[in-house]
Amino acid sequence: MKVSHLQTEDKGKNKRMTKQRRIIKEILCSTKSHPTADWIYEEARKVLPDISLGTVYRNLQVLLSENNIQELSYGKGYSRFDGNPHPHYHFVCKECGRVFDVEMPLADFLTEAAAQATGGIVESHRLEFAGICRDCRREAKIVNH
Amino acid sequence: MKVSHLQTEDKGKNKRMTKQRRIIKEILCSTKSHPTADWIYEEARKVLPDISLGTVYRNLQVLLSENNIQELSYGKGYSRFDGNPHPHYHFVCKECGRVFDVEMPLADFLTEAAAQATGGIVESHRLEFAGICRDCRREAKIVNH
DNA sequence: ATAGGTGCAAATGTTTTGCTGTCAA
DNA sequence: TTGACAGCAAAACATTTGCACCTAT
């Protein structure tokens, strides 16, 4: 039975545990600050003065592909703009990349839950779903008949 | 009574309605495709062949500041990384910019609601709160005594 | 008339990549 | 031994900005 559809198809290949990769992972796991690549780079340099920023980025990609860490993407790629200024949710198809509006009521109670959990003032939230859109799902069915 | 804290402190200044700005707004309102700045630029060029990409970006900023449109930021700024690979929510303080983990249960039922609303397969969701964190709230209190 | 806006091009800032030498397995 | 990985620097990329001219008000 093939399992090639598994999203968690991590590890697998012959990855080497270099000191650079180990240090980067350690830095990332020893902070709760959700650091940027550059901050990780500066921290890593305290231990490995010759490490390069490229190495940091490459290792972050490896760790991501192994599901060892996660990325909060505020960067990379490009912004998308929405002519509708009212709060609503979005769905991103990871097959075709399109972004859809999701017609469902706002879950405002989440805001209160988060306010309690953080002790801060929560003014808004952003909710984004990911998966496979209706069109791409149909196509998949046809292809696999 | 001062209202300088209003987040919706839009308009106000003497903004001109140039043809560039009008076209950009029209393009944005006539599509549901959540376009990128570059796509908007290409569309606008069909009408105003000499419009520049810089103008598109500048006008998107103006429209954003007027709350006429919204941005789905997948770009700009930089990525942040999280050593914790398990799904959880985040809170971004718009005062100090720090990102916090939010300790609250996952609202998985949202996934089902979105699946129904979109007709697609929803595999995950990303939920992010924005507001003022506990520390910054305290500071504000002290300052305004 | 004039402040705000435009086009153009250069600058910025983050992330990626080509190349060559190195090192973990 | 050798293929994955490192360092370095250049490239790529979206986005921003400085400047001189233009135009909506």
Q: Which of A42, A69, A72, A129 to mutate to test the interface with B (most CBs of B within 10 A)?
A: A129
At position A76, the amino acid (one-letter code) is K
For residue B83, is pLDDT > 50? yes
pTM over 0.85? The answer is no
Backbone angles phi, psi at B131, to 5 degrees: 170, -145
Residue-wise burial string across A66-93, b where 16 or more C-beta atoms lie within 10 A, e elsewhere: bebbbbbbbbeeebbbbbeeeeebbbbb
Backbone angles phi, psi at A100, to 5 degrees: -115, 150
Q: Confirm if A79 and B71 have CB atoms less than 8 A apart.
A: yes
Q: Which nucleotides of C are covered by protein (CB under 7 A)?
A: 3-10, 13-18, 23-25
Residue-wise burial string across B40-78, b where 16 or more C-beta atoms lie within 10 A, e elsewhere: bbebbeeeeeebeeebbeebbebbbebebbbbbbbbeee
Structure tokens at A37: 């690549």
The minimal CB distance from A74 to the residues B33, B78, B89 is found for: B78
In this structure, of A50-54, A65-69, B138-142, the range with the lowest mean pLDDT score is: B138-142
* pLDDT one-digit tens code per residue, A96-118: 889 999 999 999 999 999 999 99
The minimal CB distance from A104 to the residues B7, B91, B117 is found for: B117
* pLDDT one-digit tens code per residue, B111-126: 999 999 999 999 999 9
For residue B95, is pLDDT > 90? no
